[in-house]
Amino acid sequence: MPIQMPSPRDSYSNSRSPTDDAGLRAYLAKIYSYMAGALVITGVVAMLAANSPAFLNAIYAMQGEAIVGMKPLGWLVTLAPLGLVLWLSFGMQRMSLAAVQASFWTYAVLMGMSLSVLFIIYTGTSIARIFFITAGLFGSMSLYGYSTKKDLTSWGSFLMMGLVGLIIASVVNIFLKSSALQFTLSAIGVLVFVGLTAYDTQKLKQLYYQRSEDRETNGKVAIFGALTLYLDFINIFINLLSLFGNRR
């Protein structure tokens, strides 16, 4: 979303009134409530889908309880969240607030359908354990991004380079099918998205001080912020699960 970012130095050099601080907390609380709601929807949909034989047979080629392939509808479900998040990112300013909200919740549902495979691959206990570890790690780094006086702007380009490298290497590993490379990519993925959590939180804090007077624009910014943090959380969770999850 093309929003003009403020200079971090300007953000920290200006004194803020108690009203600004209260407004910032309310703004971030709204973002985290959107994010938490999306995570709940994704988790519930993933569990329901994983326990639906009709859904699994429509999406995956099954052999007993094991997945041996992906059906065409499965590829559609897997790729749909990517298409929707790109549409949101580049088209949000032209959409109404109601349309942005509907797209955000739809994205959470699609992600739940896509991530249902995790409940087939990993044990429920393992998923729950890794979820709470992810929550603690995400919360710690988000708090750091909120409270630190250090300018994290320089992290942005470094982390984005790491993210692009991860995507390229992951595509390559689809053909190589190297477990060692997958382990390495998961470990790097955790580091990249942990760093992005702090960076994105500070960026959202800066955006608050550049807020518009238009309530609809501010609402869109809050949803976009929730989507950004949601993706950080989901990616930390998936990579930690790949590293430490117990398979069925």
Q: Which residue numbers in the chain have pLDDT < 70?
A: 1-20, 65
* Euclidean distance between CA atoms 169 and 220, whole angstroms: 33
Q: Residue 108: what pLDDT? A: 97
> Which residue in the block uniquely carries the two structure tokens 């702007």?
153
Kindly list the distances between the CA atom of residue 110 and the CA atoms of 77, 93, 123, in Å, as whole numbers in the listed order: 7, 22, 22
Domain ranges for the chain: 16-244
* Euclidean distance between CA atoms 62 and 16, whole angstroms: 58
* Euclidean distance between CA atoms 172 and 11, whole angstroms: 41
Q: Residue 171: what pLDDT? A: 87
Which among 40, 36, 10 is positioned nearest to 205, based on CA atoms? 10
User: How is residue 234 written in tokens?
Assistant: 């989901």
- pTM of the full predicted structure? 0.89
